Amino acid sequence: MLTVVLILVILGCCLIVWFRRNNNEEPPALNGYFPLIGHAHLLIGAGNIHLWIYLKEIAYECLNAGGVMSIFHGPKTVYCVADPDDFLTVADTCLQKDCFNEFAKPWLGDGLATSDLTTWKEHRKLLDPAFSQAFTDGFLTVFNKQARRLVKELEVKAGKGTFDHFVYTRKNALETTFFTVFGEDFNDKSFLINIYQQKMDQMLNILVERFKKPWLHCDYIYRWSALRKQQDDCMKILLNISNTVLKKKKAVYLNNGKNQNIKKETNGPKFKAFIDLLLELAIEKDAFNDEEIREHVDTLMFGGHDTVASVLMYTILLVGSYSGVQKKILEELQSIFGDSNRDVTRADLSQLVYLEAVINESMRIYPIMPISTRRLDRDVQLKNCTLKKGRTCLLFIFGVNRHPMWGPDAEKFKPERWLGSTTPDCPTAIAGFGVGRRVCIGKSYSMMSLKTTLAHVLRRYRVSGNHSQMVAKIDVSLKPVSGHHVKIDSRVQ
Ligand code: HEM
Ligand SMILES: *[C@@H]1O[C@H](CO)[C@@H](O)[C@H](O)[C@H]1NC(C)=O
Ligand SMILES: *[C@@H]1O[C@H](CO)[C@@H](O)[C@H](O)[C@H]1NC(C)=O
Ligand SMILES: *[C@@H]1O[C@H](CO)[C@@H](O)[C@H](O)[C@H]1NC(C)=O
Ligand SMILES: *[C@@H]1O[C@H](CO)[C@@H](O)[C@H](O)[C@H]1NC(C)=O
- pLDDT tens, 133-159? 777 888 999 999 999 999 999 999 999
Q: Residue 285 carries which side chain, given as an amino acid letter?
A: K
- Residue 23's pLDDT is 47
Mean pLDDT, to the nearest integer, of 11-36? 64
Predicted confidence band at 400 (pLDDT cuts at 50, 70, 90)?
Answer: very high
193: Cβ contacts below 8 Å, ≥ 6 apart: 171, 174, 175, 178, 186
Q: Is the pLDDT of residue 398 over 90?
A: yes
Q: Is the pLDDT of residue 4 over 70?
A: no
Nearest CA to ligand 2 atom 9: 66
Nearest CA to ligand 2 atom 13: 66
Q: How many Å lie between the centroid of ligand 4 and the Cα of residue 169?
A: 22
Q: Is the pLDDT of residue 417 over 70?
A: yes
Q: Which of 3-17, 279-293, 331-345, 357-371 shows the lowest mean pLDDT across its residues?
A: 3-17
Mean pLDDT of the chain: 88
Exposure of 373 by Cβ count < 10 A (0-12 exposed, 13-18 middle, 19+ buried)? middle
The size of the chain, in residues, is: 493
The predicted-structure confidence for 206-261, as pLDDT tens digits, reads as follows 988 888 787 888 889 999 999 999 999 999 999 998 898 889 888 888 887 655 54
Strand, helix or coil at 171? Answer: helix
The predicted-structure confidence for 91-120, as pLDDT tens digits, reads as follows 999 998 876 678 888 899 989 988 888 999
Nearest CA to ligand 2 atom 11: 66
- Residue 234's pLDDT is 94
Q: Where are the domains of the chain?
A: 47-490
Predicted confidence band at 265 (pLDDT cuts at 50, 70, 90)?
Answer: very low
Q: Which residues pair with 76 in a beta bridge?
A: 73
- Residue 374's pLDDT is 93
Of 196, 240, 241, 294, the residue with max ligand 3 atoms within 8 A of its CB, to mutate for a pocket test, comes to: 240
How many angstroms separate the first and last alpha carbons of the chain? 86
Q: How many Å lie between the centroid of ligand 4 and the Cα of residue 360?
A: 6
Nearest CA to ligand 4 atom 8: 356
Q: Is the pLDDT of residue 269 over 80?
A: no
Which ligand approaches the C-alpha of residue 63 most closely? 2
Predicted confidence band at 358 (pLDDT cuts at 50, 70, 90)?
Answer: very high
Q: Which CATH fold would you assign to the domain 47-490?
A: Cytochrome p450 (1.10.630)
Q: Is the pLDDT of residue 266 over 50?
A: no
Exposure of 416 by Cβ count < 10 A (0-12 exposed, 13-18 middle, 19+ buried)? middle
- Residue 376's pLDDT is 94
pTM greater than 0.85 (yes/no): yes
- Residue 124's pLDDT is 94
Element (H, E) at 167: helix 165-182
Neighbour count for residue 155 (Cβ, 10 Å):
13
C-alpha to C-alpha distance for 304 and 441, rounded to whole angstroms: 10
Specify which of 39-53, 369-383, 415-429 reaches the highest per-range mean pLDDT: 369-383
- Residue 45's pLDDT is 66
Residues with CB under 6 A from ligand 5: 466, 468-469
Of 26, 70, 384, 385, the residue with max ligand 2 atoms within 8 A of its CB, to mutate for a pocket test, comes to: 384
